[in-house]
Amino acid sequence: IAPPLRALVIYNHNPVVVHADQNRMLKGLMREDLFLAGIDIAMTESMALCDIVLPAATHFECDDIYPAYGHHWLQRGEAAIPPVGESLPNTEIFRRLAARFGFDEPCFKASDRELMDDAIDGSHPRMRGMRPSEILVNEALRMSAADGRPLALFDTVMPATPSGKVELVSDTLAERWGPEARLAAYRPRAAKLPLSLISPASDKRISSTLLGLGGKPGEAPPLSINPIDAAARGLENVKRIRVWNELGNVVLPLIISDAVPPGVVASEKGAWIATSETGQTISALVSADAQADLAKGACYNDTAVEVEAWPT
């Protein structure tokens, strides 16, 4: 990288656990010439690598605006208690850092309420003439179409494409991400190992957040394998396995189930490193070099692995 990266701030993120190619990430963050500052409410694996950790305020200690995930509601929240100890909201930390660096743009001086109004256009019809900072804290705003009807795809909301339709062939995507993004196409799997690892989200946590009660790491998520693949590897009576590829290896409890098809194994993402005997989690097996056609993101569910018995 030119110029070289010499300092990094990690906030709202645990890259050691959730980023692809975990071992390379660890190596990069442990560089002696890299200064790391962290902002978090918990001592995560990423925070443990930081030279300085600034305690963040929780959502109980700061004002914020909250959208409903997958729904059309917007709600404003106010701090229920003052920040505990030396903790501060991220926005206040950034305001203070900006002042120390001499940044005087208005965004670095705006209050949290002003930032709410900057982030969401209060003049948009869905806001019904109300600025985000004006939403009552004991109510939620249901965003709707300009005529007041509920938002519904293909009825009151149309796709934001040139044709106004769902485009299976998209010149717009091709212009942005290259010709491969124009039309989704099947590409034969080219892998040296026989099993495809998928790492879905857990219903018990959000990525690496909320894994264990009281800051404890919790249990390692099991690996599920189809009975056919288990029998082919002599795993019928095995309780623990090692799943591996050229990037790393992870020891996990084993579940044999036809909930996953032959040729596929599955283990939930987001486990803390403390749950692993090898000091690696599922993210260690995912390549950071393989990129998706859209947005060039990591291909978490395109990971080839092998599985073998591990002594109990």
Could you tell me if 170 and 273 are in contact, meaning their C-beta atoms sit under 8 angstroms apart?
no
- Give Cβ neighbours of residue 191 (< 8 Å, ≥ 6 apart): 304
Residue type, 15: P
Q: What is the pTM of this model?
A: 0.87
**H, E, C per residue of 196-223:** EEECCCCCCCECCECCCHHHCCCCCCCE
Query: What's the pLDDT tens digit per position in 227-247?
Result: 999 999 999 999 999 999 999
What pLDDT is stored for residue 173 in this prediction? 92
Residues lower than pLDDT 70 in the chain? 210-217
DSSP assignment of the chain: --SPP-EEEEES--HHHHSSSHHHHHHHHT-TT-EEEEEESS--HHHHT-SEEEEBP-TTSS-EEEE-TTSSEEEEE--SSPPPTT-B-HHHHHHHHHHHHT---GGGT--HHHHHHHHS-TTSGGGTT--GGGS-TT-EEE-B-TTSPBP-BTTTB--SSTTSS--SB-HHHHHHH-GGGSB--------SSSEEEE-PPPSSSBTTBT-SGGG---PPPPEEE-HHHHHHTT-TT-SEEEEEETTEEEEEEEEE-TTS-TTEEE--S---GGG-SSS--GGGGS-SS-B-TTTT-B-TT-EEEEEEE---
d(C-alpha 252, C-alpha 277), whole Å: 9
249 bridge partner residues: 244
User: What kind of architecture, by CATH, is found in domain 195-309?
Assistant: Beta Barrel (2.40)
What pLDDT is stored for residue 148 in this prediction? 86
Provide the 10 A C-beta neighbour count for residue 152: 11
What pLDDT is stored for residue 174 in this prediction? 93
What pLDDT is stored for residue 212 in this prediction? 55
What pLDDT is stored for residue 215 in this prediction? 57
256 bridge partner residues: 225
What pLDDT is stored for residue 221 in this prediction? 92
Two structure tokens written together for 96: 């203070």
What pLDDT is stored for residue 207 in this prediction? 79
Residue-range domain boundaries for the chain: 64-142, 160-187, 195-309
d(C-alpha 85, C-alpha 81), whole Å: 12
d(C-alpha 274, C-alpha 277), whole Å: 8
